[in-house]
Amino acid sequence: MFPLLEVFMPGLQSVYKEMLAFFQPLWPGEDKPLVLGEGKEDAPVLMLVGEAPGETEVLKRRPFVGKAGKNLDEFLTLARLNREDIFVTNTVKIRPTEKGPTGRTRNRAPNKEELSLFVPWLMKEIQAVRPKALVTLGNVPLKALTDGKITVGDCHGQWLESRAGAPLFALYHPASIIYRRALAPVYEQDVLILAENLR
C-alpha cells in the first residue's frame, strides 16, 4: 500500500531476497545453501541468535531443528514462550564444515571471512524484524553484536547494549553444556532470569 516505505524500511523478505542474490555467486561449485531465520517477523518479544546451522538444519533448510531443536524446545519451556512468538536465526547462515581425522565432514566454528560476510546481513535482519530483545547463544553471536571483546563467561545472564540497538541478553550455547555439565544449572538459572525480565 505504501511502496515508498519499503525503500526506507525494507521488510524481512526483501532483505532475504537481497541476501540470497548477494551470496548466490560467492562459492561457485560448492554446495553451501543458506538457512534463513524463521518465526514472528514483526517485532517479536525476542530474537534468538545462534552460531550457524548444522547438518540437520541444512537438510531441512530450517534453523534449530534436530538436536539443536530439542535444546530450543527446552529453552522455550523454561522461558514459558512459544516458538511462534519469537524469531530464531543464526549469525552465519551456511554450515561451516571441515574434515575430521577420519575424513568425515564435521561442524566447525565460523571463521573470520564468514563472519565478515554474514554479520552485516544479521544487522539488516535485526533492523527488519525489530525484536524487543536479542538473546545470543554462545560467543559467536555475542561477539558479533557487541564490541567483540566480551565473552559469554563474563556476561551470561546479564543485559548488555548491542550494536543493533535492541538490548541483548547473553546465554551460553546449549550445545556447550553437553561438554561442560557444570554449566547446566547456570544456563537454567539464566533462562529463568530472562523469563522473569520478559514478563
Instruction: Return residues touching ligand URA (CB under 6 A).
Output: 50-54, 57, 63-64, 68, 90, 137
Which residue's C-beta sits nearest to ligand URA?
Answer: 50
> Measured from the CB atom, is 7 or 84 closer to ligand URA?
84
> Which residue, among 123, 86, 122, 90, has the nearest Cα to 198 in the 3D structure?
86
The least distance separating ligand URA from the CB of residue 63, rounded to whole angstroms, comes to 4
The least distance separating ligand URA from the CB of residue 62, rounded to whole angstroms, comes to 8
Q: In the block, which residue shows the cell 531465520?
A: 37
> Measured from the CB atom, is 133 or 135 closer to ligand URA?
135
> What is the enclosing helix (H) or strand (E) of 139?
helix 139-145
The least distance separating ligand URA from the CB of residue 110, rounded to whole angstroms, comes to 10
Per-position DSSP letters for 48-98, written without gaps between them: EEES---HHHHHHT-SS-HHHHHHHHHHHHHHT--GGGSEEEESS-S--EE
Contact 48, 137 (CB under 8 A): yes
> Measured from the CB atom, is 26 or 178 closer to ligand URA?
178
Q: In the block, which residue shows the cell 525484536?
A: 131
> Measured from the CB atom, is 39 or 53 closer to ligand URA?
53
The least distance separating ligand URA from the CB of residue 118, rounded to whole angstroms, comes to 13
> Which residue, among 176, 157, 160, has the nearest Cα to 168 in the 3D structure?
160
> Measured from the CB atom, is 75 or 162 closer to ligand URA?
75
The least distance separating ligand URA from the CB of residue 12, rounded to whole angstroms, comes to 17
